[in-house]
Amino acid sequence: MIAPPALQGWRLQQAQDDPTELSRLRLPGVATQDRIAREIDLAVTAGDLSLAESFLALAAERGTAVAPDRIARIEALKANALARAVSDFGYGFVAGDRESEAAFAGALVGDISGFGDLRDLAREGSRLAAGETIDETVLVLAAVGLAISAATWVSLGGGLPARGGVSAVKAASKAKLLSPVLTANLGRMAAGAIDRPALSASLGAAARLDLAAAKATAGGIVRPAALARFTALGQDAGSLYARTGQRGLRQVLAVAEDAGDIGRAAKLATAKPSTARAVLKLLGRSALVLGALGLQAAGFMLALLAYALAIAMAAQRFGWWLGRLGRTSRARESVSRA
């Protein structure tokens, strides 16, 4: 059969800018009952409640039965989540750790106030002063975070999604949780984004732990065009966090290759908030981008085009034959009448 694979390839091509449709087309081959069951078990074992619930939602969406004992394990995991959340929140605020949702919330409070970014800016500043290699991505994200924090306070929370997104990306970068390609791309963005004189002024304020002065100068550290790009990145990351949690965001950051991938993941999460994590776990980056179609799929599409051309040529020849037949018949009728 040539038409079905070729038709699938054509549909994938048409859906290349729509991650929701792209993932819908690619899910049937991987979202089997056994695979969903295994993924639920793995998520529960890892203590990843949101991923387990996402697979449960995907199973419901696809009409796939889930064993009662698996549902019971998810409920038990949910019951234990609150006790851990209280202690994690405080640790996240002080240390900047974001391993759990509550720890991330605590760290986010620290970053919104400027405490976390000031800490990171001071740390990178001391390394720079000592002639050590600095993490330019973390430095730029801290500066962007301080700039957005100032705007967030002025706008009474208007910049909160971008602020949270920048904080999460910075945390993942520090923990080496970004994909290698995304790490390299953000590094290149950061390298050309820094205004050195403004950086020196802000690092002095950070070293003195002068939060007000650091916020005032932070916006100048990052060049305007780069600040806009990193803010947009933060907006998409913040949207992802709001819908999939910090683990969902980290899941995307581990497979994304550029800021565009994060934006596409945000679109997917907006359209499918309850199942986005499960879809991303099953499909990886192929839920976000078309990628290169396999040689077999490309061959099927070419074969289908060849068949279509052959049919069109045959239809044309048949039309000519019918035309000649009609003209011959009319000529014979004319002769008979004569």
| The predicted structure's pLDDT at residue 198 | 74
H helix or E strand, kind and range, residue 233 = helix 224-253
Summarised one tens digit per residue, pLDDT across range 137-172 is 998 898 888 888 765 544 444 456 788 889 889 988
Look at the pTM and tell me if it is higher than 0.85: no
Residue 222 bridge partners (DSSP): 194
Q: Name 29's Cβ contacts closer than 8 Å, sequence gap at least 6.
A: none
Give residue 2's pLDDT band: very low, low, confident or very high (50, 70, 90): very low
Summarised one tens digit per residue, pLDDT across range 107-143 is 566 566 667 787 887 788 778 778 888 888 998 898 8
Greatest mean pLDDT range, 56-65, 198-207, 287-296: 56-65
Summarised one tens digit per residue, pLDDT across range 264-320 is 999 999 999 999 999 999 999 999 988 654 444 445 445 555 555 556 566 666 566
- Composition of the chain by helix, strand, coil, percent to 5: 80, 0, 20
| The predicted structure's pLDDT at residue 323 | 61
| The predicted structure's pLDDT at residue 114 | 66
The pair of structure tokens assigned to 80 is: 């234990």
The pair of structure tokens assigned to 87 is: 């202690």
| The predicted structure's pLDDT at residue 39 | 98
Question: What does the pLDDT average to over 60-80?
Answer: 93
| The predicted structure's pLDDT at residue 200 | 73
Residue 5 has pLDDT above 80, yes or no: no
Q: Do residues 124 and 214 lie in contact, with contact meaning Cβ atoms separated by under 8 Å?
A: no
CA distance 137 to 176: 12
Return mean pLDDT, the chain.
78
Question: What does the pLDDT average to over 30-44?
Answer: 96
The percentage of residues in the chain with a pLDDT greater than 90, rounded to a whole number, is 38
| The predicted structure's pLDDT at residue 12 | 80
| The predicted structure's pLDDT at residue 108 | 61
| The predicted structure's pLDDT at residue 53 | 96
Angle at Cα 229 formed by Cα 223 and Cα 235, nearest 5°? Answer: 130
The percentage of residues in the chain with a pLDDT greater than 70, rounded to a whole number, is 65
DSSP 297: H
Q: Do residues 222 and 149 lie in contact, with contact meaning Cβ atoms separated by under 8 Å?
A: no
Virtual torsion, Cα 45, 49, 50, 51, nearest 10 deg: 20
Summarised one tens digit per residue, pLDDT across range 233-272 is 999 999 999 999 888 999 999 999 999 999 999 999 999 9
| The predicted structure's pLDDT at residue 158 | 47
| The predicted structure's pLDDT at residue 43 | 96
| The predicted structure's pLDDT at residue 154 | 44
3-state secondary structure of 222: strand
Q: Do residues 8 and 31 lie in contact, with contact meaning Cβ atoms separated by under 8 Å?
A: no
| The predicted structure's pLDDT at residue 161 | 75
| The predicted structure's pLDDT at residue 94 | 45
In terms of DSSP H, where are the helices of 96-135?
101-113, 115-129
DSSP 177: -
